[in-house]
Amino acid sequence: MTEEGGESVCWLDRVCPDCGLLVEDVDLPAPCPRCGATVPSDSQERPGELT
Ligand SMILES: [Zn+2]
């Protein structure tokens, strides 16, 4: 089961860069419900980068 470690990485892209709140069930980028900072969608911003 090598996929166990990979799944948690996805959630790092959904954490508010300002307060660290986990933002779930929203389409990123979206404003943080706690502090209002924009949570970027890092994982979807590089469509052409296929290493
Ligand atoms: Zn926040």
Q: Tell me the per-residue pLDDT of 4-23, one tens digit each, with 9 for 90 and over.
A: 655 555 566 788 999 999 98
CA neighbor of 13 nearest in space, from 31, 37, 40, 33:
40
Please provide the average confidence, as pLDDT, over all residues in the chain: 77
- pLDDT at res. 41: 81
Residues 22 and 29: beta-carbon distance below 8 Å:
no
- Report the DSSP pairing between strands 30-31 and 38-39: antiparallel
Residue 23: CB atoms within 10 A of its CB come to 19
* 24-49 core/surface letters (b: 16 or more CB in 10 A; e: else): eeeeeeeebeeeeeebeeeeeeeeee
Task: Name the residue ranges covered by the structural domains of the chain.
Answer: 11-42
Ion ligand 1: residues, CB < 5 A: 16, 18-19, 21, 32, 34-35, 37
With a cut of 90, say whether residue 36 has pLDDT above it: yes
Ligand 1 geometric centre to CA of 5 (Å)? 25
Ligand 1 centre distance from Cα of residue 44 (Å): 20
